[in-house]
């Protein structure tokens, strides 16, 4: 049997290290020409598969493939489009079959989070639905750390390291300025899971160190208790450093930051949870308050990646190819923790059925009794994930990232409209 081609797609929000997984996939696939022909990379994720828009990665030089390991963003483009079930949208599935057949694709690697793992799992049904067999392997990725059946999600450790470092640094700044600025708030990504905000807690080492308050979606936000805690912290420490998940919720389960208008400015409250908390403190406590919203910076900050995270991202990319070559399908390389200190881990195949569309939330014992901090158990879990540095090369004062050729594969099919 001639070697089949492979298709790699990035899916969902990108991270500082998703390209390290791409690097792992591409480098390993290149060493097995007897089984894997060309590796195509879908442009803009699943959209690119349906639109038959692929880059031919065989046109990329090895040095640039290697440079993906230290390049943030998603080198081939990503999207949030997820595959519908075959029963719901047979037209899409007919198209999938045509695309895979036209380009002789025998392997597909979807690099994404829990929604993408569902898409990946569905693709194992391509033979049944469209008469074209394909080996489908997931490659885990998400800064949210909410993938099930893996010790952690590649992408999380680097974002966590960046946030914990930033809040330690800014804590020293605010401490110096406490004659005027009393409160600093950092808004952290995480609509449902508070992992990243909990990781900010690692910045505190000694009593009095910030952050002093963590607000996570898992603990209902209580304005009164929160304001009391801020007042008390400012009174004892002199200032108060807060990390807040964008997705904190009221007691009734609604998002705190979706309560509309700001009376002060007359227009919609813009930023979300961070600015709203800042406004609350300014109006209720009359304290000078600064607020940073890291937004995409936290998931793009490759300049401060966790070496552990980079190694894991690369390893799951390589392992995905290894699993495909070993005859597996419908699995994802998951990270298994063998010990905390030293952190020892290995990569095992995990059936996608146990991962797809599930959400792993932080256990209650990771949050301190008052709901505002982290416990030693959380530290033990989190610390290894941010350990080690892995700086990109710098040129002229700025990080030098991969520059790809982006050679498109010639289309063989008529256009297809993705709704």
Answer yes or no: are the C-beta atoms of 148 and 386 closer than 8 Å: no
In the shown chain, the binding pattern of residues 292 to 321 toward a copy of itself, with x for contact by CB under 8 A and - for none, equals: xxxxxx-xxxxxx-x---------------
Query: What minimum distance in Å lies between the beta carbon of 320 and a copy of itself?
Result: 19
How far, in Å, are 71, 163, 170, 238 from residue 175 at the CA level?
34, 18, 8, 8
Query: What minimum distance in Å lies between the beta carbon of 247 and a copy of itself?
Result: 16
**Residue appearing with tokens 């963590």:** 214
144 catalytic per annotation: yes
Answer yes or no: are the C-beta atoms of 350 and 319 closer than 8 Å: no
112 belongs to the binding site for a copy of itself (CB under 8 A)? no
Answer yes or no: are the C-beta atoms of 413 and 52 closer than 8 Å: yes
Which of 44, 118, 144, 390 is flagged as catalytic?
Answer: 144
As given in the structure block, the two tokens for residue 185 are 């708030």
396 belongs to the binding site for a copy of itself (CB under 8 A)? yes
Using a 10 angstrom Cβ sphere, with 0-12 exposed, 13-18 middle and 19 or more buried, the burial of residue 228 is exposed
Whichever of 229 and 276 has its CB closer to a copy of itself, that residue is 276
Identify the CA nearest to 243 among candidates 195, 291, 186: 186
**Residue appearing with tokens 């963003």:** 73
Whichever of 73 and 330 has its CB closer to a copy of itself, that residue is 73
Whichever of 89 and 173 has its CB closer to a copy of itself, that residue is 173
Query: What minimum distance in Å lies between the beta carbon of 387 and a copy of itself?
Result: 4
The upper half-sphere exposure of residue 216, i.e. CA atoms within 13 Å in the direction of its Cβ, equals: 25
327 belongs to the binding site for a copy of itself (CB under 8 A)? no
Q: Angle at CA 141, nearest 5°, toward 140 and 143?
A: 145
Query: What minimum distance in Å lies between the beta carbon of 173 and a copy of itself?
Result: 4
78 belongs to the binding site for a copy of itself (CB under 8 A)? yes
In the shown chain, the binding pattern of residues 8 to 27 toward a copy of itself, with x for contact by CB under 8 A and - for none, equals: --x--xx-x-----------
Q: Return the bridge partners of 55, or none.
A: 41, 408
Looking at residues 133 to 162 of the shown chain, list those that interact with a copy of itself (rule: CB under 8 A): 161
**Residue appearing with tokens 């997705």:** 247
251 belongs to the binding site for a copy of itself (CB under 8 A)? no
Q: Out of 336, 399, 406, 416, point to the residue binding a copy of itself (CB under 8 A).
A: 399
Whichever of 96 and 304 has its CB closer to a copy of itself, that residue is 304
Query: What minimum distance in Å lies between the beta carbon of 40 and a copy of itself?
Result: 17
Query: What minimum distance in Å lies between the beta carbon of 37 and a copy of itself?
Result: 26
75 belongs to the binding site for a copy of itself (CB under 8 A)? yes
Q: Would you tell me how many other CB atoms lie within 10 Å of the CB of residue 128?
A: 11
202 belongs to the binding site for a copy of itself (CB under 8 A)? yes
388 belongs to the binding site for a copy of itself (CB under 8 A)? yes
As given in the structure block, the two tokens for residue 94 are 């007919």
**Rounded Cα–Cα distance for residues 41 and 19 (Å):** 12
220 belongs to the binding site for a copy of itself (CB under 8 A)? no
Whichever of 68 and 126 has its CB closer to a copy of itself, that residue is 68
As given in the structure block, the two tokens for residue 232 are 């008390």
Query: What minimum distance in Å lies between the beta carbon of 342 and a copy of itself?
Result: 12
47 belongs to the binding site for a copy of itself (CB under 8 A)? yes
Q: Out of 102, 129, 148, 177, point to the residue binding a copy of itself (CB under 8 A).
A: 177
Using a 10 angstrom Cβ sphere, with 0-12 exposed, 13-18 middle and 19 or more buried, the burial of residue 324 is buried
**Rounded Cα–Cα distance for residues 380 and 106 (Å):** 41
Looking at residues 79 to 108 of the shown chain, list those that interact with a copy of itself (rule: CB under 8 A): 79-81
348 belongs to the binding site for a copy of itself (CB under 8 A)? no
Whichever of 1 and 398 has its CB closer to a copy of itself, that residue is 398
Answer yes or no: are the C-beta atoms of 302 and 392 closer than 8 Å: yes
As given in the structure block, the two tokens for residue 252 are 């009734």
As given in the structure block, the two tokens for residue 169 are 């640094």
Positions marked active-site:
144
């Amino acid at each position: 049997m001639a070697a089949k081609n492979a298709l790699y797609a990035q899916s969902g929000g990108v991270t500082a290290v998703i390209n390290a997984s791409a690097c792992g996939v591409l480098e390993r696939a290149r060493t097995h020409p007897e089984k894997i022909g060309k590796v195509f990379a879908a442009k803009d994720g699943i959209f690119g598969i349906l639109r038959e828009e692929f880059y031919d990665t065989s046109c990329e030089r090895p040095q640039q493939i290697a440079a993906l390991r230290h390049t943030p963003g998603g080198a081939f483009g990503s999207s949030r489009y997820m595959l519908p079930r075959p029963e719901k949208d047979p037209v899409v599935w007919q198209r999938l079959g045509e695309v895979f057949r036209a380009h002789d694709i025998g392997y597909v690697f979807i690099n994404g989070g829990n929604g993408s793992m569902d898409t990946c799992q569905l693709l194992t049904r391509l033979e049944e639905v469209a008469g074209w067999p394909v080996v489908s392997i997931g490659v885990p990725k998400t800064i949210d750390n909410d993938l099930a059946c893996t010790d952690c999600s590649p992408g999380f450790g680097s974002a966590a390291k960046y946030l914990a470092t930033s809040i330690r640094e800014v804590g020293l700044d605010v401490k110096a300025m406490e004659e005027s600025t009393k409160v600093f708030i950092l808004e952290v990504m995480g609509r449902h899971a508070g992992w990243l905000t909990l990781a900010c807690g690692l910045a505190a080492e000694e009593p009095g160190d910030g952050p002093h308050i963590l607000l996570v979606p898992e603990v209902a936000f209580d304005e009164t208790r929160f304001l009391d805690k801020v007042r008390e912290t400012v009174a004892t420490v002199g200032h108060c450093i807060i990390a807040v998940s964008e997705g904190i919720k009221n007691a009734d389960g609604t998002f705190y930051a979706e309560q509309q208008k700001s009376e002060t400015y007359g227009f919609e409250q813009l930023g979300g949870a961070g600015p709203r908390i800042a406004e609350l403190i300014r109006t209720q406590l009359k304290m000078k308050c600064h607020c940073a919203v890291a937004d995409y910076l936290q998931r793009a900050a490759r300049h401060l990646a966790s070496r552990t995270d980079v190694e894991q991202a690369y390893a799951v990319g390589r392992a995905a190819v290894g699993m495909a070559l070993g005859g597996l399908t419908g699995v994802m390389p998951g990270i298994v923790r063998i010990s905390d200190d030293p952190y020892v881990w290995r990569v095992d195949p995990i059936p996608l059925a146990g991962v797809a569309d599930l959400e792993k939330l932080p256990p209650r014992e990771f949050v301190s009794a008052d709901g505002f901090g982290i416990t030693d158990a959380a530290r033990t879990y989190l610390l290894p994930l941010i350990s080690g540095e892995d700086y990109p090369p710098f040129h002229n004062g700025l990080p030098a990232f991969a520059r790809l050729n982006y050679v498109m594969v010639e289309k063989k099919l008529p256009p297809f409209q993705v709704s």
